[in-house]
């Protein structure tokens, strides 16, 4: 599957800083020291509806991860998936009388356009679940050979008890896991399972649903967690730097994925840091496709909102906090963008070196984007109050905001 075009990332003067980021698995910040090529896997969309502000906020966080690493002169090997076959997608297609492949294609196309408009850097590999099936089947077969998977009425389940590290990503107790499993695509109440939490690896073909050749597994389609594991191991290998997504993915998705990979390879952990973005709400409830309380990026764009303002609205919240999307959040961002643009359009201004370092320091410290905005605001305020004589300063500010925040002034 193709991704979307990259916007250019200007090089900045001085030295970038290593990223220190909160790791869900250890519950503490970790300073990552990737080699010359940092490895990042971010869970992609299930394309049955348009990109909403919650998705945008999560991808914004991982775009910042990339930008901090690029600033340290590293390359970034970034992989993202598209869950282009799964229950919610099939259900929505059925509800709306659409062909499920057409729905997935249409929504993935819109997602690419939204990401391009927001200047989110694209993954190097953008892989659909369907195209990953030939790589998924042998992994499920291998888990069966290892005794870590079992059959139930033709479906294949992963046994969570086969991984001694199971539970070490999300650190939840059994009751909480069971509740979340039921809410997030699991089937804890299905009779015959060894452990209620065991997730499906391969679902035998169902009447009226798409299915693929699964070799010794029979015809069927892949489970959700093994999809991301197959893609991540194939493209990045074990021990990559960051696996990312929204906080609703910590359990079961990232927990199960980590277990699959650890049992398959005998190595631990799959990712050096598990990084989770907070949930964006609207009217007091988590924005979600299933609830339908959504503000779409594409809708705002159609209404003439500058994507750079959307980006600033996202940066105004720390990625780990849960927050509420309101019209005021957007109005504040539009006003900030206007002020910043006016300030950098002048031929000179106060020296900007401190601002570059402050933005760098803020982002390298667990992606503190609100603090990065405050650092730019301080330069803008000085420009508005007293101006300055440094002819290179407005350009330096523009390039910094572009390179590190993805905002074109």
- Residue numbers of the site for ligand 5CA (CB under 6 A)? 43-46, 54-55, 57-58, 81, 83, 228, 245-246, 248-249, 277, 279-280, 286-288
**Contact (CB, 8 A) for 41 and 244:** yes
Residue 248 contacts which entry, ligand 5CA, Zn ion, none (Cβ below 5-8 A, type-dependent): ligand 5CA
Q: Which is nearer to ligand 5CA, 109 or 346 (CB)?
A: 109
Q: Which is nearer to ligand 5CA, 125 or 286 (CB)?
A: 286
Q: Which is nearer to Zn ion, 192 or 237 (CB)?
A: 237
154 phi-psi bin (left φ>0, alpha ψ -120 to 50, beta other): left
Tell me if residue 218 falls in helix, strand or coil: coil
Interface segment toward Zn ion; rule CB under 5 A; list 224-232, 271-279, 336-344, 374-382: 224-232
Of the candidates 19, 228, 314, 409, which one interacts with Zn ion according to CB under 5 A?
Answer: 228
Q: Least Å distance between CB 404 and ligand 5CA?
A: 22
In angstroms, the CA 137 to CA 107 distance is 26
Query: Which H or E element spans position 246?
Result: strand 240-246
In angstroms, the CA 402 to CA 280 distance is 24
**In the chain, what's the furthest Cα-to-Cα distance?**
76
Q: Least Å distance between CB 224 and ligand 5CA?
A: 7
* Share of the chain residues as helix, strand and coil, in percent rounded to the nearest 5: 45, 15, 40
Residue 222 contacts which entry, Zn ion, ligand 5CA, none (Cβ below 5-8 A, type-dependent): none
Q: Which is nearer to ligand 5CA, 44 or 269 (CB)?
A: 44
Q: Which is nearer to ligand 5CA, 44 or 223 (CB)?
A: 44
43 lies in the binding site for Zn ion (CB under 5 A): yes
129 lies in the binding site for Zn ion (CB under 5 A): no
In angstroms, the CA 87 to CA 236 distance is 27
The answer to whether the Cα torsion of 186, 189, 193, 196 is positive or negative is positive
The CB density around residue 305, as the number of other CB atoms within 10 Å, is 16
Q: Least Å distance between CB 58 and Zn ion?
A: 12
Bridge-based pairing of strands 280-282 and 285-286 is: antiparallel
Tell me if residue 390 falls in helix, strand or coil: strand
279 lies in the binding site for Zn ion (CB under 5 A): no
Report DSSP state, residue 252.
I
Q: Which is nearer to Zn ion, 34 or 223 (CB)?
A: 223
Q: Which is nearer to ligand 5CA, 24 or 383 (CB)?
A: 24
In angstroms, the CA 366 to CA 385 distance is 31
Residue 287 contacts which entry, ligand 5CA, Zn ion, none (Cβ below 5-8 A, type-dependent): ligand 5CA
In angstroms, the CA 6 to CA 116 distance is 7
**Contact (CB, 8 A) for 136 and 227:** yes
Number of residues that bind Zn ion (CB under 5 A): 2
Q: Least Å distance between CB 110 and ligand 5CA?
A: 12
Q: Least Å distance between CB 61 and ligand 5CA?
A: 9
In angstroms, the CA 202 to CA 138 distance is 11
Report DSSP state, residue 250.
I
Residue 54 contacts which entry, Zn ion, ligand 5CA, none (Cβ below 5-8 A, type-dependent): ligand 5CA
Q: Least Å distance between CB 69 and ligand 5CA?
A: 19
Residue 246 contacts which entry, Zn ion, ligand 5CA, none (Cβ below 5-8 A, type-dependent): ligand 5CA
Q: Least Å distance between CB 13 and Zn ion?
A: 37
Q: Which is nearer to ligand 5CA, 45 or 380 (CB)?
A: 45
- Please, what is the Cα angle at 30 between 27 and 35, to 5 degrees? 140
Contacts to Zn ion by CB under 5 A: 43, 228
């Amino acid at each position: 599957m193709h991704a979307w075009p990259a916007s250019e990332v200007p090089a900045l003067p001085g030295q970038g800083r290593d990223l220190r980021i909160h790791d869900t698995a250890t519950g503490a910040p970790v300073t990552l020291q990737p080699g010359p090529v940092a490895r990042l896997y971010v869970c992609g969309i299930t394309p049955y509806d348009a990109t909403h502000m919650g998705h945008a906020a999560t991808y914004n966080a991982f775009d910042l991860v990339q930008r901090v690493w690029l600033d340290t002169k590293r390359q970034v090997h970034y992989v993202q998936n598209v869950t282009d076959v799964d229950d919610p997608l099939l259900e929505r297609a059925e509800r709306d009388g659409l062909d499920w492949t057409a729905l997935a294609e249409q929504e993935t196309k819109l997602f690419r356009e939204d990401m391009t408009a927001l200047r989110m850097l694209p993954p190097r590999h953008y892989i659909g679940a369907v195209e990953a099936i030939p790589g998924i089947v042998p992994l499920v077969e291998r888990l069966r050979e290892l005794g870590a998977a079992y059959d139930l009425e033709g479906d294949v389940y992963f046994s969570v008890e086969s991984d001694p590290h199971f539970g070490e990503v999300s650190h939840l107790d059994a009751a909480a896991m069971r509740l979340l499993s039921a809410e997030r695509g699991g089937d804890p109440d299905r009779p015959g399972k060894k452990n209620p939490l065991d997730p499906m690896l391969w679902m035998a073909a169902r009447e009226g649903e798409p299915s693929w050749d699964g070799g010794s597994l029979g015809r069927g389609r892949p489970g959700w967690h093994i999809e991301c594991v197959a893609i991540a191991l194939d493209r990045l290998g074990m021990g990559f730097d960051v696996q990312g997504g929204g906080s609703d993915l910590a359990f079961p998705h990232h927990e199960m994925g980590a277990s699959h990979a650890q049992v398959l390879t005998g190595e631990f952990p799959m990712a050096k840091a598990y990084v989770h973005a907070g949930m964006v709400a609207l009217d007091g409830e988590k924005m979600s496709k299933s609830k339908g309380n959504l503000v779409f990026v594409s809708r705002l764009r159609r209404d003439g909102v500058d994507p750079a303002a959307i980006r600033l609205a996202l940066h105004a919240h720390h990625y780990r906090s849960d927050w509420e999307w309101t019209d005021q959040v957007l109005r504040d961002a539009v006003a900030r963008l206007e002020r910043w643009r006016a300030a950098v359009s002048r031929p000179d201004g106060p020296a900007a070196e401190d601002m570059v370092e402050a933005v760098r320091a803020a982002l390298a410290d667990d992606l503190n984007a609100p603090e990065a905005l405050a650092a730019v605001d301080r330069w803008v305020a000085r420009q508005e109050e007293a101006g300055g004589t440094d002819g290179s300063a407005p350009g330096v500010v523009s390039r910094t905001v572009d390179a590190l925040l993805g905002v074109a002034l």
